[in-house]
């Protein structure tokens, strides 16, 4: 891969475009998440649990690309808020299972506005966002395998 002077311009860096876009998306999400009294990482935990109902801390960490040092305090706060329940596995007490509570499930319908807000703010068609997300996930998989 040949380097040229354009590679040094900020707008030419894909990593910056993705970073700035991520921050802009979070600004779109912020009012909706504030109304739900959730942080973005808490919302992602709930999105995962709405799909699975139950997970381990290890599985959540892998799905969200978060370490246990970040996840554990957040899960404790979410448990205190009544959104989930943590319990040690009966077969292996090193494993902590996370179960969504009825209160956590009840937020699913209220949170439907979060991804919808991006669709409205983007000015793009849903199919375009799906294609873009697919391309970004493809890039992520390739970068993650190169990274290891």
Q: Which residues 6+ apart lie within 8 Å of 71 measured at CB?
A: 45, 57, 60, 61, 64
Q: What is the pLDDT of residue 12?
A: 87
pLDDT of 3 higher than 90: no
At residue 80, the pLDDT reads 97
Each as own residue / partner, the long-range contacts of residues 38-42 (CB below 8 Å, 24 or more positions apart, any chain) are 38/107, 38/111, 39/74, 41/66, 41/70, 41/74, 42/74, 42/77, 42/78, 42/83
* CATH of the structural domain 39-106, one choice from 4.10.320.10, 3.30.450.40, 1.10.10.10, 3.40.50.11240: 1.10.10.10
List the chain domain ranges: 11-38+111-148, 39-106
pLDDT per position as a tens digit, 5-19: 656 788 889 999 999
pLDDT in tens, 39-51: 999 999 999 999 9
- Global pTM reads 0.88
Largest CA distance in the chain: 59
């Amino acid at each position: 891969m040949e380097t040229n002077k354009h590679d040094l311009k900020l707008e030419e860096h894909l990593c910056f475009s993705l970073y700035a876009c991520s921050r802009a998306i979070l600004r779109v999400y912020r009012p909706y998440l504030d109304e739900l009294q959730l942080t973005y990482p808490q919302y992602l935990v709930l999105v995962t649990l709405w799909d699975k109902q139950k997970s381990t801390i290890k599985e959540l960490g892998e799905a969200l690309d978060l370490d246990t040092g970040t996840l554990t305090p957040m899960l404790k706060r979410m448990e205190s808020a009544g959104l989930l329940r943590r319990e040690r596995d009966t077969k292996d007490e090193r494993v902590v299972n996370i179960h969504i509570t009825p209160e956590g499930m009840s937020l699913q319908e209220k949170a439907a506005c979060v991804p919808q807000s991006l669709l409205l703010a983007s000015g793009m068609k849903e199919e375009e966002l799906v294609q873009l997300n697919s391309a970004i996930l493809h890039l992520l998989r390739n970068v993650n395998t190169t990274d290891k």
